[in-house]
Amino acid sequence: MTEVKEVDIVICGAGLVGLALGAALTESDLRVLILDAQSQPQAPVDVQVVRRDFDLVSGFAPRVSALNKNSVAFLKRVGAWQSVSRSSAFVAMSVKDAEGSGVIEFDADFIGRSELGHIVENQRVISALLIQLAEADQTEIVWNSKLNDMQAEESGYELTLEDGRRIRCALIVGADGGHSKIRELANLKSVGWSYHQQAVVCNIETQTEHGQVARQWFTERGPLAFLPLGQTNLCSVVWSVEDPEDLMAMSAEDFCRELALASEQDLGDILGVDKRFTFPLNQQHSLRYIKPHLALIGDAAHTIHPLAGQGANLGFADAAALASELLQYRFSEQGIGDFEALRRYEKSRQPSNLLMTTAMEAFKRLYSTKNPGINWLRNTGMKLTNDNTYLKTLIARLASGGG
């Protein structure tokens, strides 16, 4: 008979959001165990930029996130931001409709800030969170451990891992991403659909400096973003398209030419491109984030289109809100799985997550249409917004984390 391990909280998923929740809980004496199906990620290493013809080795990881001020403040609070070994602030945004002359531009000054957010490599944030968790030395992280099954009990859950190990906990937190096993096993219904789009992701070297501006073009193929990295001529590219095959198959030189055209040569020619990757894009939202003794956070609760770079930001806000409830109510009579505390978490997060999801969906549809009337309206709307201080301030504040 296998021994059953007992803890207060199990966080299933050691991605950005699960680890951030773990770090936020280290200020308590709660026994927390984080498990992940994958092996422990390697610590990032610094590599020199090298380019031969159009083939680039940028030394930057392919997956980056634009983090807003709330996410950065949360990561500071849990003691991880201080160990993020590389990040670059962006100070302005430019959004262009490539099918006309619509444009919205603003900078941090416009809303009285010194920056709008930071571009960080996901692996560097994960590494910083792992350093913080190791220093606190009270959270167990178990790698290569896939959760396969779970049974509800009166005072929590009993979990079964793929290798047969069992864990009993008062609260299970699903931070296990868009295809959440916890959501499926808990029978929590979600609404979702595939965009039939994939994100082509890579790093590039540009002819002119990015000037710490995050740029986006709504191209005929789909939204294209250039996010400024920590070196003046390097950007991270996210291009969401329906058929990525030709973009993936073309030579580095042809791909650079295609990107220069799609970005209207705003940063001149594209001089080189690093390895290209694709990620499928889906949207889903769980109708409930909670059950007694169970909560979902991050992509497990809601996955949104990356066009406004908000998924991780919403996930960190979930982790902050859930941690705050758990830290406040851990001594309550009902204990750590207290349904009322979990309900407060859900109530505090679901409306704003839904609002952002709906806004992204509206943007996605508005910019996918080939209807000339709607194209005209969209272009005119963008020009009017750009001339309207109130609307522009609203958008600038939303993009950089409100407040």
| Minimum CB distance to ligand FAD, residue 314 (Å) | 7
Tell me which residues in 2-31 interact with ligand FAD (CB under 6 A).
12-18
| Of the candidate residues 156, 244, 298, 401, the single one contacting ligand FAD (CB under 6 A) | 298
Of the candidate spans 243-251, 312-320, 337-345, 362-370, the one that interacts with ligand FAD by CB under 6 A turns out to be 312-320
Q: Helices 122-136 and 69-77 sit at what angle, rounded to 10 degrees? A: 20
| Of the candidate residues 238, 247, 307, 382, the single one contacting ligand FAD (CB under 6 A) | 238
E strands, 288-354, are 290-291, 294-296, 302-303
Tell me which residues in 133-172 interact with ligand FAD (CB under 6 A).
146-147
Q: 3-state class of 62 per DSSP?
A: coil
Q: How far is CA 80 from the centre of its chain?
A: 17
Of 177 and 337, nearer to ligand FAD (C-beta) is 177
Is residue 199 close enough to count as binding ligand FAD by CB under 6 A? Answer: yes
Is residue 312 close enough to count as binding ligand FAD by CB under 6 A? Answer: yes
Are 313 and 70 in contact by the 8 Å Cβ rule? The answer is yes
Binding track, positions 261-280, relative to ligand FAD; x by CB under 6 A:
------------------x-
Of 38 and 82, nearer to ligand FAD (C-beta) is 38
# binding residues, ligand FAD (CB under 6 A): 32
| Minimum CB distance to ligand FAD, residue 18 (Å) | 5
The whole-angstrom separation of Cα 264 and Cα 261 is 5
Of 236 and 378, nearer to ligand FAD (C-beta) is 236
Is residue 175 close enough to count as binding ligand FAD by CB under 6 A? Answer: yes
Q: 3-state class of 253 per DSSP?
A: helix
DSSP codes of every residue in 70-136: HHHHHHHHTT-GGG---EEEE-EEEEEETTSS-EEEEEGGGGT-S-SEEEEEHHHHHHHHHHHHHHH
Is residue 313 close enough to count as binding ligand FAD by CB under 6 A? Answer: yes
| Minimum CB distance to ligand FAD, residue 44 (Å) | 16
Binding track, positions 341-380, relative to ligand FAD; x by CB under 6 A:
----------------------------------------
Rounded to a whole number of angstroms, the distance between the first and last alpha carbons of the chain is: 54
- In the block, which residue shows the tokens 């996605």? 364
Burial environment of residue 129 by CB neighbours within 10 A (0 to 12, 13 to 18, 19 or more): buried
Positive or negative: CA dihedral 256, 214, 381, 355: positive
Q: Which residues contact 41 (CB under 8 A, 6 or more apart)?
A: 123, 126, 127, 130
Is residue 32 close enough to count as binding ligand FAD by CB under 6 A? Answer: no
Is residue 117 close enough to count as binding ligand FAD by CB under 6 A? Answer: no
Of 238 and 336, nearer to ligand FAD (C-beta) is 238
| Minimum CB distance to ligand FAD, residue 36 (Å) | 4
Q: Helices 311-329 and 16-24 sit at what angle, rounded to 10 degrees? A: 30
Residues in contact with ligand FAD by CB under 6 A are 12-18, 35-38, 65-66, 146-147, 175-177, 181, 199, 201, 238, 279, 298-299, 306, 309-313, 315
